[in-house]
Amino acid sequence: MKTPTIIVRLIGLYLLANSIITLIQIGRMATMQQTMQGGPNPTLTQNPMLDDMRIYAWIGIIVGLVAIAIAGPLTRLLTFDSEQPNKNPSLRDQLL
């Protein structure tokens, strides 16, 4: 595995872990606020900032999974290396 592929896969793992932790923190915050107010809080579920954070977290999970799953082709796309690797390179290609 080449270095750019490893970097893309590590970025995918970071996005996945960070997004999961964000969703857990949002859930804990909702639970803590409900216990502090003595019951379910309808204003917490209607908070647009928390809704945005949930959307960004889910997008991060999806992007992280995609980056982990297809790291090789994604690396070629991101590094503008559109040529497929030659399976049987000639001696001239190997020396150059």
Per-residue pLDDT tens digits of the chain, which is 96 residues long: 688 889 999 999 999 999 999 999 998 887 877 777 776 655 555 678 888 999 999 999 999 999 999 988 888 888 876 566 666 666 665 554
- Residue 65 falls within a domain, yes or no? yes
0.75 exceeded by the pTM?
no
- Residue 34 falls within a domain, yes or no? yes
Q: How many domains does the chain have?
A: 1
Give the C-alpha separation, 15 to 29, whole Å: 21
- Residue 88 falls within a domain, yes or no? no
- Residue 90 falls within a domain, yes or no? no
- Residue 87 falls within a domain, yes or no? no
- Residue 1 falls within a domain, yes or no? no
